[in-house]
A = this chain, B = another copy of it.
Amino acid sequence: MTEPKSYKWFLDHLSPFEGHMHGIDTIVFSKQTQFQQVEILDTKSYGRCLVLDGKMQSSEVDEFIYHEALVHPAMLTHPHPEKVFIVGGGEGATLREILRHKTVTRVLMVDIDQEVVESCKTHLPQMHQGAFDDSRAEVRYLDARKYLEETNETYDIIIIDISEPVEEGPAYLLYTREFYQLVMERLGRDGIISLQAGTTSASNLLNFSAIYQTLKAVFPVVSPYQASVPSFGLPWGFALASKHVDPRTLDTQEIDQRIARRIQGELRFYDGETHLGQFNLPKQIRLQMQKQERIIEDNYPLFTYH
């Protein structure tokens, strides 16, 4: 072996029985905030990364996959998205991708943890790329659920970009039927939401399939999809839900045309062919989603890493 091995490692505990190890060079930032443990690490294989409560959120090398997959299917399925709401959104890359859409006039990002956002602003400029300074963008540091309960405003698109539902983390009440109901009520006529929905690993489909069924209990149209974000250590699921529009009705050509017409700059991950790839899920995932009966509710929440 000619190359040196790493002596310093970040251990991402995917479950009590499974982990992914990342060789690290630098611990750029590490702090226990009021809500969670925040870490910004320079890894050898994935560049600078954001880690919350010990779980990889975004890496310099492949965050474009996660954020393009999370944002553009919803945005492009909508006929003309102007007002967008982000639940969470920490490092500002979701905001960045939304702002690339020329139709957008206003984005409100509500993240509970100001320290996460501030530390990303400082240490992860490659992720936000100045998005926080865009005049169309506003960030508030509040409980997004409480904010949505108290506002009367509606949005074309609501993107839920939060960490996984862990027992003492800030996110688990943003995965329930009641929350999705609230979110739907804050959508405009052609409204769409999208969210990250946990791993699609064959050994642990509970979370992904229960989120699917919970969304189905609220929304007329639910379109689950999948993308490989290698730094996560496991394949990853997403879901898009809407009042009536369905991304699966758009063909490759239509996606490519909408990208050309509506988005500034070049996308790296998402295009018509990628769209086709990610919405056509493997058979066993589709079957398990259909068979799932669990609905996640405020008084019957679901926790990962259990």
Q: Taking beta carbons and an 8 Å cutoff, which residues of A are in contact with B?
A: 1-13, 15-27, 30, 32, 37, 39, 41, 43-46, 51, 54, 61-62, 64-65, 199-204, 226-228, 230-231, 233-235, 267-271, 273-284, 286, 306
Contact = CB atoms under 8 A, between A and B. Distances in A.
Given A18-B45, A277-B280, 7 more contacts: A2-B306, A8-B8, A8-B41, A19-B20, A200-B230, A227-B282, A271-B283
A283 B269 contact: yes
A51 B7 CA distance: 10
Interface of A is mostly: mixed
Most central of A19, A37, A282 by chain B CB within 10 Å:
A282
Contacts of A276: 276-277, 280
Nearest to A21: B19
Most central of A43, A234, A267, A280 by chain B CB within 10 Å:
A280
A233 B16 CA distance: 16
A35 B200 CA distance: 35
Given A8-B41, A9-B8, A228-B228, A26 B27 contact: yes
A283 to B, nearest CB: 5
A16 B8 contact: no
Nearest to A12: B7
A44 to B, nearest CB: 4
A112 to B, nearest CB: 19
